[in-house]
Amino acid sequence: MSSQIGFVFCCSLLTTHWSLAPCATMEDNVPPRLGLKIDVDTLEGFRQGIPALLEILAARGIRTSFFVALGPDNSGRAVFRVFRQQGFLEKMWRTRAPALYGLRTMFYGTLLPAPLIGQGAGEILVSLAAAGHEVGLHGYDHVHWHDHLLSMSREEVTRELAQAQDLFRPLLGQAARAFAAPGWQCSAVQRAVLAAGGFLYGSDTRGYAPYFPRFGEQINPVLEIPTTLPTLDELLGFNGCRPEDFTALVLGRLAKADLPQVLTVHAEVEGGPLRQEFANLLDRCREQGVEFFRLEDWARELLREPEKIPAATVRQGRLPGRAGRVSCQGPLEAKP
């Protein structure tokens, strides 16, 4: 229980000061473990980011988890968040978004038609699976989900999932069993759809330890493996944070955590202009003896003893360097 309290405390620190290290302790003989959750949001991420990441990962013998959005690339519509979301303009400016995402991508769905990412994606998806990586879904229309999930009906969410599976299934020969919510936007309705769809686990929230998500009186039966670390695009430039500072932060967290950590990576960013910085981070992790794992494997490990997995409430919160609100894990509930 003390380590649980430690994680709750650390998580609350993380939401205000990115540079503060967590306070949990790790047994010396257990190597730190890191799960890379690679989100692919855009056509650019698919065509340029995935091949670059495959090369970086193969060179280091790392297998990981990719989550792909296969519907229309409406990235241009995200630009309109500037009028609605506190912090979005600041983030666009700080991260030099046009350089990170490419000018073309920034007009998809507005001045340029939205291309369907899943069309012609077969070869790339097959190459991911063939290299031993896990492939899960990152929604259908990423921008639509990000902006509207919390008001979407069960029918709408079911349609988004079905459209994504209809593109996924023929390409990989089976339905996806892992889901990562676009923009960490998670709802009771969406989790119920995951449960009905037979998903093994979701990675929809920001938090500190695996759990079953509670919404009011209801506890969702699908395991949630949250992203535990901040992302590079959130912290770059925030309080003067450089890529090497980010790497130091990740290593510090890994060294002190008593649970495996999950880092979300964006194919458009770490597989794009920041690929060298990402490769450096992986090299530093390997020097420190960090073991990499696929989220699917950890999910199977945890689900061997589901009675040991606690519940926690999901609530909307803000994170340093990220515009708008995301779904966050609340305190763990003690087992009866």
As beta bridge partners, residue 212 has 311
Nearer to Zn ion, 148 or 335 (CB): 148
Candidates 96, 99, 79; CA nearest to 88 is: 79
Only one of the segments 32-40, 126-134, 215-223, 240-248 lies at the binding site for Zn ion (rule: CB under 5 A); that segment is: 32-40
- Residues of this chain, 179-198, that bind Zn ion according to CB under 5 A: 182
Pairing verdict, β 223-224 and 201-202: parallel
Pairing verdict, β 261-266 and 178-179: unpaired
Cβ 45 to Zn ion shortest distance, Å: 9
Cβ 78 to Zn ion shortest distance, Å: 10
Query: How far separated are the first and last CA of the chain, in Å rounded?
Result: 13
Nearer to Zn ion, 24 or 194 (CB): 194
CA distance 121 to 127: 10
Cβ 215 to Zn ion shortest distance, Å: 22
Continuous H helices in 15-94: 43-44, 50-59, 75-78, 88-94
Q: Does 234 bind Zn ion (CB under 5 A)?
A: no
CA distance 165 to 178: 11
Interface mask toward Zn ion for 198-217; x: CB under 5 A: --------------------
Q: How many residues bind Zn ion (CB under 5 A)?
A: 3
Cβ 142 to Zn ion shortest distance, Å: 5
Cα-based angle 293, 296, 299 (whole degrees, multiple of 5): 100
Q: Does 41 bind Zn ion (CB under 5 A)?
A: yes
Q: Does 39 bind Zn ion (CB under 5 A)?
A: yes
Token readout for 19 is 């540079």
Q: Does 134 bind Zn ion (CB under 5 A)?
A: no
Structural contact between residues 297 and 225, judged by C-beta atoms closer than 8 angstroms: no
Only one of the segments 31-39, 150-158, 193-201, 206-214 lies at the binding site for Zn ion (rule: CB under 5 A); that segment is: 31-39
Only one of the segments 33-41, 221-229, 305-313, 323-331 lies at the binding site for Zn ion (rule: CB under 5 A); that segment is: 33-41
- Indicate the SS3 state at residue 211: strand
Interface ranges with Zn ion (CB under 5 A): 39, 41, 182
